[in-house]
Structure 1
Amino acid sequence: MHLKYVTKTPSGTYEYRRQVPARLRAAVGKREIKKVLGNTEAQAMAAYSRTHVAIEKLLTKAKAPQLQQEMVRTALMDFKEALRRVEELGIDPKAPVFSEEGGYDPKSIQRDAYIASIAAKYPLDTEGNPDVTSPVDSMVISLLGAGPKVKAPAPTFDDAVRVYIEEKHLLEPAEKKQLLQVQLIAREFKAALNGKPPALPALKREHGRAVRDFMLTEKKRKPESVERYLNTVRAIINMAIKEFDLECGNPFMGLEVKKDPTATKKSKRDPLPAEVLRKVTERIHGHAGEEVQIIWDLLAGTGCRPQEVTGLRAEDVRVDSPIPHIRIEWHDHRRVKDEITQRWVPLVGKALDAAKTALKLTKTSKRHRDTAAHMLFPTYGRDGGAGAVSAAIMSKHMRLITTNPKHVLYSLRHNAKDNLRKAGVALEVQNMILGHTNAGVSEGYGGDEAVLQVTSAAMAKAFGG
């Protein structure tokens, strides 16, 4: 019997035994997971699947303890819960408590009985009234006693953040990075307004300036970072205005952040000079593991983003196609930035050789075969894998060749851009290859095969394929 993580103990029982990665031990609470599956092979086979799935879920949860939203109870949430409870009692919270003739609604006795039963749960205060401490119970009592006269509380920024996270599906494991950033921005938003920002309809321009200045001065963030954070704030509030049917503006729109004119995006990274590129490539091929070598060659030969390459599955690599290419697509183990980022990138030269080598590994390496969804790179085809391969290349290889802070792994994208420019490739075709947006809506038309023919010819000119 060959089952992963299963061993036969000296006593003759079958045991599921699995080491917990060091980074997860604090969350799991142990260094090793052990579970007896049974005394016979048949018992072990029967219990294996259930046990393995349960432990996989446990480790997945431990990997992302912050994936659950930092839930802040709001008055609007309590109100919606109170509405639900009233409806469960068989009472329409929108129905008037009094009839048109001024008398009680036929269900008034029932309403009073429910109010009394809720109030009975609480002790009396000094004036002899029930001391109802639960905000939801308090709202239920109000709805039962006053009906439609009780208005919903105005949504707050916390409500807006919750809706944004739900609508953007940020609780999915692959969206962890974006979720954590939204949560960070929400904390700084509230801190800038002394922890008590006004309801959304009451937000003013002065609040926008306070948040901006807090990020710039108190948090000492760079203007470019503050601008990105404020863009997220704008998106959160705009979505809330739409989802909550608010009739108010967004005071963060058009809020300017003064930037250093010398600190441009272009100045942060440089393409690698030819000699540096050659030496780093030689260093990686002489000292790095096979996965890192392949990833480096694919990055250098396609201009793809690191996460686009590390997130490839075996099925995304089409070396036997009339035009060999890789497919950058959205899947459960990797998200892509947006629609234009999803594309087919031709493979030529060393990139094609690297892709073929990678596919051979998936057929010969047990570790590759066992990887979920047949990820092309088991070590790095995971959440945070792109950062891990970047750190490995930078610290172990590139920094031994160049200490220029503008020389980073992302520099390979700049090298690819320069290669395409020098080859005389039209800007529109450059953008198709690199996953950049072209102006206008025309980029949404045409088939992938036709685009692939155009981009393949461009790649052959730029990369000598």
Structure 2
Amino acid sequence: MAKPTQIPFLTERNGTLIFRRRVPLRFRDCAGLYEWKKALGRESERSPRIRLELRLLTEATDEALSKLERGLPVRPDLLDEALKALYPAQAQSAIQTLDHAVAAYLSVRGLPELRKAEAVAVEQFCALFPKRRVFDITRSDVRRWVDHLRTTRRQTGPTIRRRLGSMRAIFAVAAEETNYNSVNPFRSVRIPDGADGGVRLPFERAHLAAIDAWLKGQAGQRATGRIIRLMRLTGARPLEIGGLDASDLNLDGDVPTIYIRPNSSRGLKTRNSQRILPLVGDALVAAQELKAAGSIGPLFPASCHQTGALSARLNKALRSAGVPACREYTAYSFRHTMEETLRFTDAPFEVQQAVLGHAPKTMTDRYGAKRVPLTRIHTSLLVAAALISTQDKTK
């Protein structure tokens, strides 16, 4: 829900400032709407730009109310028209920056915040073009960005396609909202040859033994080591563990668990990702160590709450442990290892879905209980842990 600020007609929702002014009830039929509303971006409410835009919008709606009092019609796009005076060089668009475009996208889609893939795409585009205005983005810019994702960030073809899809959708909404008729620069961009890297694979037994040996030292007591200890016996995604909060730990019940849910540090990839995972073996020991440290709030540093930084941190640790540096074996391989092990140990399909947070793939999958009993998941994870961890065979 949007919350008001100290400035009249200015509210804030998930970091985005919004101009909102209600149309008096007696004028709503004539105006054709019940409020004037315009997203202004994610700057401080004390920003000179925000103050100037707010003043122009307030004056425009004051004038509109005066016209309505006299029985005169008002333009439905009066807010956009008011901002054109502020940006005469780009009068065709009241959406100027990517922040504006994101705010419009959220408003049109009815979203409280960007989904993970969209947020990462915007962040990575802005890192290369920090001051590029939305409608100044060219096909050349996009090709340069795609090449940067492939060569510098070492992203694969499927990942680059997701980045392009996110930016294409945000640009399309901005263009539609401002009647911008030029070609979407993010559409039909060719992925460079060689960008379709290898498929991530489960770890081999030798890899798991090397990781176990590495974790026995001081590395296992550091933040990166504890994230790995939790990941390898839960099947959770890297950011699901890196963004854990102390309140997500429940170690006092008959079955100790972690709660994978959105929190102040990170969201989740999909709605089905929200789940409760039993802790077994060394993952339980790692959670107990974290709880004994008396942590309040996020369990891991802020650098572990961002996908790129966390992946780099975890993959560097894997190389230190002796896992070969290649696309096939990364931190995400822990998840593939758990998936393969659950299948190998004949864990029920619904248990596999519950552990990995996968959405139902067919209509048949949607029938039956929505939540698998925790004891069934716990039993399956105990069996899987015995195969995955050479360090915890006795647990």
TM-score over 0.5 (shorter chain): yes
Match of 1:300 in 2: 232
Correspondence 1:312-461 to 2 at 5 A = 312-362=244-294, 368=295, 371=296, 373=297, 375=298, 377=299, 380-385=300-305, 394-395=315-316, 398-406=319-327, 407-440=329-362, 450-461=372-383
Q: 1:24-69 CA deviation, whole Å, 9 max, x = no partner?
A: xxxxxxxxxxxxxxxxxxxxxxxxxxxxxxxxxxxxxxxxxxx955
Confirm or deny: 8 A CA contact 1:212 1:226 kept in the other structure. Answer: no
- Asked whether the equivalents of residues 229 and 286 of structure 2 are also in contact (C-alpha less than 8 Å), the reply is yes
Return the match for 1:276 from 182, 194, 207.
207
1:164 is aligned to 2:105: yes
- Matched letter for residue 293 of structure 2: L
Return the alpha-carbon distance in structure 1 between the equivalents of residues 334 and 150 of structure 2: 30
Superposed displacement of residue 428, structure 1? 4.8
Of 123, 133, 144, 1:180 maps to: 123
Query: Given the superposition, is the C-alpha separation of residues 315 and 96 from structure 1 closer, same or farther in structure 2, using an over 3 Å criterion?
Result: closer
Q: 1:252 to 1:176 in 2, by over 3 A?
A: closer
Q: Which residue of 2 aligns with 1:257?
A: 190
- Go from structure 1 to structure 2 and tell me whether the alpha carbon gap of 1:186 and 1:92 turns closer, same or farther (over 3 Å shift): farther
Structure 2 residues without counterparts, runs of 5 or longer: 1-40, 74-80, 387-394
Structure number, greater radius of gyration? 1
Change (3 A) 1:392 1:345: same
Distance 1:390 1:306, change over 3 A: same
**Kindly tell me: are residues 165 and 182 of structure 1, through their superposed partners in 2, closer, same or farther at Cα, counting changes over 3 Å?**
farther
How far the C-alpha of 1:328 sits from its partner, in A, is 0.4
TM-score w.r.t. length of structure 1: 0.53
Q: Answer whether contact 2:102 2:170 (CA < 8 A) is retained.
A: yes
Query: Is the 1:170–1:179 contact (alpha carbons within 8 Å) kept by the matching residues of 2?
Result: no
Q: How many residues align?
A: 321
Alpha carbons 1:342, 1:435 under 8 Å: kept: yes
Cα displacement (A) at 1:231: 0.7
Is residue 87–residue 93 contact of structure 1 (8 Å, CA) maintained in 2? Answer: no
1:196 to 119, 130, 136: 136
Is 2:169 the partner of 1:235? yes
Q: Letter of the aligned partner of 1:305 in structure 2?
A: R
Q: Aligned letter for 1:181?
A: Q
- 3-state SS of 2:259 partner: strand
Q: Work out whether residues 278 and 374 of structure 2, in 8 Å CA contact, stay in contact via their aligned partners in 1.
A: yes
Against the structure 1 CA distance between its residues 180 and 305, is the aligned structure 2 distance closer, same or farther, given a 3 Å change threshold?
same
Percent of matched pairs sharing the same residue: 22
Give the residue type in structure 2 aligned to 1:416: M
Find the aligned partners of 1:434 and 1:394 in 2 and give their Cα distance: 21
Query: What CA distance in whole angstroms lies between the structure 2 residues aligned with 1:304 and 1:178?
Result: 22
- The question of whether the paired residues in 1 share the 8 Å contact of 2:318 and 2:330 is answered with no
Amino acid at match of 1:403: P
Kept in 1: contact 2:354–2:372 (CA 8 A): no
Given the superposition, is the C-alpha separation of residues 247 and 394 from structure 1 closer, same or farther in structure 2, using an over 3 Å criterion? closer
Q: Residues 351 and 372 of structure 2 are in contact (CA less than 8 Å); yes or no, is this contact kept in structure 1?
A: no
Structure 2: how far apart are the matches of 1:87 and 1:262?
A: 51
- What RMSD in Å do the two structures reach over aligned CA positions? 4.9
Note the residue ranges of structure 1 that are not aligned, 5 or more in a row: 1-66, 101-134, 141-151, 198-206, 363-367
The question of 1:290 aligning with 2:210 is answered: no
Q: Distance in 2 between matches of 1:225 and 1:189?
A: 23
Q: 1:440 to 1:321 in 2, by over 3 A?
A: farther
Matched, 1:87 2:87: no
> 1:127 is matched with which residue?
none
Alignment check: 8 A CA contact 1:86 1:93 kept: no
Alpha carbons of 1:262 and 1:234: their partners in 2 closer, same or farther (altered >3 Å)?
Answer: closer
Go from structure 1 to structure 2 and tell me whether the alpha carbon gap of 1:70 and 1:272 turns closer, same or farther (over 3 Å shift): farther
Question: For residues 143-192 of structure 1, what are the alpha-carbon distances to aligned partners after superposition, in whole Å with 9 as ceiling and x for unaligned?
Answer: xxxxxxxxx955556343342367655599xx98565236348769759x
Segment drifting more, 416-425 vs 390-399 = 390-399
Distance 1:284 1:218 in 2: 34
Aligned AA for 1:304?
Answer: A
Asked if structure 2 preserves the Cα contact closer than 8 Å seen for 1:241 and 1:248, the reply is yes
> Is residue 241–residue 247 contact of structure 1 (8 Å, CA) maintained in 2?
yes
Judge conservation of contact 1:215–1:226 (CA < 8 Å) in 2.
no
Distance of 1:360 and 1:219 partners within structure 2: 41
- Taking a change above 3 Å as real, the CA distance of residues 324 and 160 of structure 1, as seen in their structure-2 partners, is same
**Residue pair 2:281, 2:385 contacting (<8 A) in 1 also:** yes
Contact 2:242 2:304 in 1 (8 A): no
Amino acid at match of 2:161: E
Aligned equivalents of 1:391, 1:215: Cα separation in 2 = 20
Contact preservation (8 Å) 2:235, 2:356: yes
Distance, in Å, in 1 between the alignment partners of 2:366 and 2:130 is: 38
Spell out, residue by residue over 1:51-96, the C-alpha distance to the aligned partner (whole angstroms, 9 max, x if none): xxxxxxxxxxxxxxxx95599x9xxx98885352143367536789
Q: Deviations over 1:357-394 (max 9, x none)?
A: 333333xxxxx3xx4x3x4x3xx243535666665555
Pair 1:445–1:88, CA change in 2 (3 A): farther
Q: Which has the higher contact order (CA 8 A, sep 6+)?
A: 2
- Give the CA deviation at 1:343: 1.0
CA contact (8 A) 1:69 1:171 kept: no
Deviations 1:268-311 (A, max 9, x none): x3332212211222222222252444332211111212222232
Query: Which residue is 2:9 aligned to?
Result: none
Contact kept in structure 1, 2:172 and 2:184, CA below 8 Å: no
